[in-house]
A and B are shown apart, each in its own frame.
Chain A
Amino acid sequence: KQEVTQIPAALSVPEGENLVLNCSFTDSAIYNLQWFRQDPGKGLTSLLLIQSSQREQTSGRLNASLDKSSGRSTLYIAASQPGDSATYLCAANSGNTPLVFGKGTRLSVIA
């Protein structure tokens, strides 16, 4: 059974810092891993999706990497801004099974 863990649960950084959010999963036989952003009381916005055959994906200031052998993914945010404050969730799917989510990392970027 796939389990996804995100550490830390919360993170506070000053504006302009580069930061890394971590995601680990127990079943390395994943099809893809997806990173989402959730603002308070809102739905989820898909940020990046990494297919199992890929090592990383980039979108603007965001870079996500995937290491299936170690069961880890990281989301790198460059030059953080107060608007990046949100909860970041990673989710993995393995075969014909639904997305399994971590509990998220709540990020606060202080101006």
Chain B
Amino acid sequence: KAGVTQTPRYLIKTRGQQVTLSCSPISGHRSVSWYQQTPGQGLQFLFEYFSETQRNKGNFPGRFSGRQFSNSRSEMNVSTLELGDSALYLCASSLQGAESIWDKNIQYFGAGTRLSVL
């Protein structure tokens, strides 16, 4: 069974540009979460999607957005990039029930997309 796939693995952008990252979850997983990892802040939650609906959102500005498609694949977009957006962006998928979305479910992480903003 294939794991969580994130593309691209590496990206270099300049300030002011926008970027789209992609995440394909494990087959059968309906929940996809996105995290930002930086040396200073550690892992911080961005948002979570389940059945094409955003169910949770972290404390990030509106420049960060996402969506999920009917096949559970997810994309996140960052507009007007800033130097501080340089980070490793991680996607995780899990089997989620309709209720108690975090209970008893293991999250499986992709290898991440490393974004560098110059």
Contacts and interface: CB of A to CB of B under 8 A. Distances in A.
A joins B in a complex = yes
Contact of B106 (A49, A89, A98): A49
A99 B110 contact: no
A96 B102 contact: yes
B64 interface: no
Contacts of A99: 33, 45, 102, 107
Given A42-B112, A102-B42, A96 B101 contact: yes
Interface size class of A (residues with CB under 8 A): 20 to 34
26 contacts: A31-B100, A31-B103, A32-B102, A32-B103, A34-B106, A34-B107, A41-B114, A43-B4, A43-B6, A43-B110, A43-B112, A44-B90, A44-B109, A45-B109, A46-B107, A49-B106, A51-B104, A89-B43, A98-B45, A98-B58, A98-B102, A99-B45, A99-B107, A101-B35, A101-B43, A103-B42
Interface of B: 4, 6, 33, 35, 42-43, 45, 48, 56, 58, 88, 90, 92, 100-104, 106-112, 114
